[in-house]
């Protein structure tokens, strides 16, 4: 297969292409479907909360669920993941409790980052999920570096880094792939090509025929996959992971999909694009996988209704808890940076505690820091 062909397993009518199906047990297939649905429902709820002014910010991934779930299922728990800000499904797949994702968006006292990180920029080191970097592309070289270390240490794990089509224009994309190619580092470069980088369309991002083809320049295979086909995503990532684990080096994987929603809750895509998103509705990855499961007699309307009800109830319960929780204490603005808090910060902390609740407002004209 060349880096301009597109790998597909499930056709539009839900039937698998002969001989193309990965050999996955029913239990795994249903777990994948559940994770995709949970990702979609969480996104919908969080965007609604933001629109109601109950949380400040959110990044939806509607229509990109197969890219997240299929790729993550192909990796082992020993592998390190470097996520982008648009992959909540990865966290759910790795077993992060949904309460932590919700608490992060509220930035409340239950938030593991104590409201100090940007919303949606989760970090769960114990699940081998590296803290999300907001600057585009910087984590690509981190993943390469970690993979080089894994190789030197003869570690069993590999690394996988998630970025978008816009990320391929960053300097770090080029240096990350170059180093990985030379070092034969065990890393998967997973590019979710949703065809937009905020308001920049893919045709303004690159003059290459595909993103996958760029792998060739760095001495690694590039594969182009239908990113709305969860089994094709799984298959391509599993083959690339096996290859990396064997010592054969990195792979660039381009997952073709479409950003159906806004870039983030702060964005209004009607300002810069027409209604192409509608065309992608009937290529919905969840609908396609559901058809596949139904054709294979693994799924019914009743199971669908029950699953949605159960998942919604779980999300609602966490939202209730998240909203009822208090804010992080003032003290947390000063903790976790210095083992011994320096005198000037201690003084600021003491002033803050003294003024809290006294109606004292900081003077905006006072010398920095206020
Ligand atoms: C170095 C850098 N430049 C610009 C930005 C602003 N920015 C945030 S998201 C984004 C678009 C990224 O698009 P893409 O990589 O396709 O990912 P997607 O949002 O589509 O998932 C940009 C330009 C940034 N965060 N970092
Ligand atoms: Mg994009």
pTM surpassing 0.85? yes
Q: Is 67 in the pocket of ligand 1 (CB under 6 A)?
A: no
| Rg, C-alpha atoms of the chain | 22
Residues sharing a CB contact under 8 Å with residue 132, sequence separation 6 or more, in sequence order: 83, 84, 85, 120, 121, 122, 123, 139
Q: Is 197 in the pocket of ligand 1 (CB under 6 A)?
A: yes
Q: Report the C-alpha gap between 170 and 199 in whole angstroms.
A: 16
Look-up of token digits 């539009």: 12
Residue closest to 324 by CA, chosen among 51, 118, 108 = 108
* Atom of ligand 1 lying closest to residue 194 CA: 20
pLDDT of residue 355: 78
Residue closest to 174 by CA, chosen among 202, 225, 205, 138 = 138
Q: Is 86 in the pocket of ligand 1 (CB under 6 A)?
A: yes
Q: Is 345 in the pocket of ligand 1 (CB under 6 A)?
A: no
From the CA of 280, how far away is ligand 1's center (Å)? Answer: 22
Q: Report the C-alpha gap between 367 and 365 in whole angstroms.
A: 7
Tokens of 103: 């608490």
From the CA of 196, how far away is ligand 2's center (Å)? Answer: 4
Torsion of CA 219, 221, 222, 227, to 10 degrees: -150
From the CA of 193, how far away is ligand 2's center (Å)? Answer: 6
| Catalytic annotation, residues | 259, 263, 272
CB burial string 134-166: b at 16+ within 10 A, e below: eebbbbbbbbbbbbbebbeeebebbbbbbbbbb
- Which numbered ligand comes closest to the C-alpha of 256? 2
Q: Is 142 in the pocket of ligand 1 (CB under 6 A)?
A: no
* Atom of ligand 1 lying closest to residue 170 CA: 1
Tokens of 188: 């998967």
pLDDT of residue 369: 38
Look-up of token digits 């002033």: 351
The order of strands in the sheet holding 187-193 is 80-82, 159-164, 187-193, 251-256, 222-226
pLDDT of residue 127: 97
pLDDT of residue 370: 30
- Which numbered ligand comes closest to the C-alpha of 67? 1
Q: Is 173 in the pocket of ligand 1 (CB under 6 A)?
A: no
Residue length, the chain?
370
The 10 Å Cβ neighbour count of residue 280 is 18
* Atom of ligand 1 lying closest to residue 205 CA: 16
pLDDT averaged per 10 residues, the chain (length 370): 86 89 96 98 97 95 98 97 98 96 96 92 95 95 98 96 98 98 98 97 97 98 98 98 98 97 94 84 93 96 98 98 92 86 90 75 53
Tokens of 25: 């047990």
pLDDT of residue 288: 96
Give the domains, in start order, of the chain with CATH numbers. 26-324 (3.40.50.970), 329-370 (no CATH)
Residue closest to 308 by CA, chosen among 33, 41, 45, 47 = 41
Q: Report the C-alpha gap between 258 and 250 in whole angstroms.
A: 25
């Amino acid at each position: 297969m060349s880096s301009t062909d597109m790998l597909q397993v499930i056709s539009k009518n839900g039937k698998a292409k002969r001989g193309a199906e990965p050999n996955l047990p029913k239990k795994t297939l249903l777990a994948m479907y559940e994770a995709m649905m949970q990702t979609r429902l969480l996104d919908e709820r969080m965007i609604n909360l933001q629109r109601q002014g109950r949380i400040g910010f959110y990044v939806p991934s509607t229509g990109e669920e197969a890219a997240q779930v299929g790729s993550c299922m192909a990796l082992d728990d020993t592998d390190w993941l470097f996520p982008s800000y648009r992959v909540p499904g990865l966290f759910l797949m790795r077993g992060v409790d949904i309460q932590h994702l919700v608490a992060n968006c509220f930035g409340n006292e239950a938030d593991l980052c104590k409201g100090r990180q940007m919303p949606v920029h989760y970090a769960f080191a114990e699940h081998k999920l590296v803290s999300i970097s907001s600057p585009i592309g910087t984590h690509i070289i981190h993943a390469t570096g970690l993979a080089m270390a894994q190789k030197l240490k003869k570690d069993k794990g590999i690394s996988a880094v998630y970025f978008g089509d816009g990320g391929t224009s960053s300097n770090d994309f080029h240096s990350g792939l170059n180093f990985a190619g030379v070092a034969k580092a065990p890393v998967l470069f997973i590019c979710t090509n949703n065809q937009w980088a905020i308001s920049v369309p893919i045709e303004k991002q690159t003059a290459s025929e595909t993103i996958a083809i760029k792998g060739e320049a760095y001495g690694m295979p590039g594969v182009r996959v239908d990113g709305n086909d969860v089994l094709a995503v799984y298959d391509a990532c599993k083959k690339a992971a096996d290859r990396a684990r064997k010592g054969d080096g990195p792979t660039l994987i381009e997952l073709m999909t479409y950003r159906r929603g806004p870039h983030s809750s702060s964005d209004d895509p009607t300002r810069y694009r027409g209604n192409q998103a509608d065309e992608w509705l009937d290529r919905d990855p969840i609908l396609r996988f559901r058809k596949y499961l139904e054709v294979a007699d693994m799924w019914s309307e009743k199971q669908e209704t029950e699953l949605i009800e159960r998942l919604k109830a779980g999300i609602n319960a966490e939202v209730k808890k998240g909203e009822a929780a208090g804010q992080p204490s003032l003290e947390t603005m000063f903790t976790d940076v210095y083992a011994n808090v320096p005198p000037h910060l201690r003084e600021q902390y003491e002033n803050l505690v003294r003024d809290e609740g006294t109606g004292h407002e900081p003077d905006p004209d006072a010398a920095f820091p206020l």
